[in-house]
Amino acid sequence: MKPPHLFLIAGEPSGDLLGAALIAGLRELCGPCLRLEGVGGPAMAALGFESRFPMEELSVMGLSEVLPRLPNLLRRIRETAEAVIAARPDALVTIDSPDFCLRVARRARKALPDLRVIHYVAPSVWAWRPGRAAKMARTVDHVLALLPFEPPYMRAAGMTCDFVGHPVVETPRVPLSGTIALREELGIAPGQQVLLVLPGSRMGEVTRLSPVFAEVIARLTASHPDLAIVVPAAGPVAERVAAAFPRSEAGWPRILDPTGRTVAEADARKRAAFAMADAALAASGTVSLELAAQGAPMVIAYAANALTAAVVRRMVRIDTVTLVNLVTETRAVPEFLLGDCRPGLIAPAVAHLLDDPAAAEAQRDAADRAMALLGRGGE
């Protein structure tokens, strides 16, 4: 029997982490003979996966970011599809990033009609652009869904779909010793409150959110002068984050830069930071579940350029975007999105978490429920 041959495509940091976990699991099942190729990021590379080009080229969001890079994105779609066709794998596994991945899959499927296509991470058709499911079904055979309410949407469109649980639930809680070690490293005194600030993993997100988040920091340090502030930065934007959040005379914020560390080391430090947080201010995205997995109370914010914001307002069908809220069917996590992404609104919400232990504990309870619903403690 020939070894399984899979072509994997991940287009952004969250997909890279999913891809790395998938590779590890597949190797456990199939052994070292498994043959893999495709596109991925540093987490997949740490497992020996060789990407055909830097994944960061695909990590763009919003119309104003995509348009200037459209020629390169179209070229990469064409090149990647040609690579799939030449490889003739047993299956094409696309991981999130549907706008890129599914265009590649359509081109490849046209040349290889019998190619099996598996898409990992169901697109959020329950939130916006519901017609994507039917369009996707023309190319995709099977969907691996991260959220428990997603399979019916995929099946209704004609695809098979399994809820596989969210990988965040496999992330263990950081022990007290881990948070103590990081506090000592960063010079945070015992009992000193900690605020995490996470302005996103894409350059466009960081550019838009950093001025807002910096003003929130200024307001909070005025009312909470002993507050320790830590900014965990994603590798591709670490320099931009460091420039956007310079240290004050008091020595804050401290930037957690993963540069020069292994993926495992950087991830362990980030999780320890999440676990020690009294509150977090974060860009909307999967980071909300990572914070919830470590019991960090949070406020979510997101800004977009005027064109993208106008499109989103017309198309979004839900009143919350935070996954903890969606999974638990609550509104436990405060959100300040688009026009509401203003320091004057955000700062009081963060201060409420810092000042009211009951409010912080209510969020931790919601986070625990979300983790259970996503599969923590299950098989």
Position 28: which residue type?
A: E
Do 191 and 331 belong to one domain?
A: yes
Indicate the number of domains in the chain: 2
Question: Which residue range is the domain that position 333 belongs to?
Answer: 172-373
Residue 41 domain-assigned (yes or no): yes
The listed range with the strongest mean pLDDT (142-151, 164-173, 199-208, 273-282) is: 273-282
Q: Identify whether the C-beta of residue 9 lies closer than 8 Å to the C-beta of residue 93.
A: yes
Do 308 and 201 belong to one domain?
A: yes
Residue 25 domain-assigned (yes or no): yes
Do 116 and 176 belong to one domain?
A: no
CATH number at residue 258: 3.40.50.2000
The whole-number pLDDT of residue 124 equals 83
What are the distances in angstroms from CA 195 to CA 198, 221, 230, 253?
10, 10, 6, 9
Do 211 and 346 belong to one domain?
A: yes
Residue 379 domain-assigned (yes or no): no
Do 113 and 187 belong to one domain?
A: no
- Residue 262 CB burial class (10 angstroms; 0-12, 13-18, ≥19): exposed
Q: Give the pLDDT band of residue 196 (cuts 50, 70, 90).
A: very high
Taking the mean position of all CA atoms in its chain, how far away is CA 144? 17
Residue 297 domain-assigned (yes or no): yes
Residue 158 domain-assigned (yes or no): no
Beta bridge partners, 256, equal 232
The domain boundary residue, chosen from 105, 121, 137: 121
222-260 residue pLDDT tens: 999 999 999 999 888 999 999 999 998 888 999 999 999
Question: Would the pLDDT of 378 be above 80?
Answer: no
Distance CA 218, CA 221 (A): 5
Do 236 and 346 belong to one domain?
A: yes
Q: Which pairing describes strands 5-10 and 91-95: parallel, antiparallel, or unpaired?
A: parallel
Q: Give the pLDDT band of residue 55 (cuts 50, 70, 90).
A: confident
The whole-number pLDDT of residue 256 equals 94
- Residue 122 CB burial class (10 angstroms; 0-12, 13-18, ≥19): buried
296-334 residue pLDDT tens: 999 999 887 666 666 556 556 667 888 899 889 899 999
Q: Identify whether the C-beta of residue 308 lies closer than 8 Å to the C-beta of residue 63.
A: yes
Residue 115 domain-assigned (yes or no): yes
DSSP 319: S
Do 50 and 180 belong to one domain?
A: no
Residue 378 domain-assigned (yes or no): no
Residue 143 domain-assigned (yes or no): no
Distance CA 236, CA 239 (A): 8
User: SS3 of 115, please?
Assistant: coil
Q: Phi and psi at residue 175, in whole multiples of 5°?
A: -70, 160
Question: Would the pLDDT of 352 be above 60?
Answer: yes
The whole-number pLDDT of residue 25 equals 92
Do 236 and 115 belong to one domain?
A: no
13 prior amide bond cis, ω within 30: no
User: SS3 of 324, please?
Assistant: helix
The domain boundary residue, chosen from 103, 121, 139: 121
The domain boundary residue, chosen from 86, 121, 156: 121
Q: Give the pLDDT band of residue 377 (cuts 50, 70, 90).
A: low
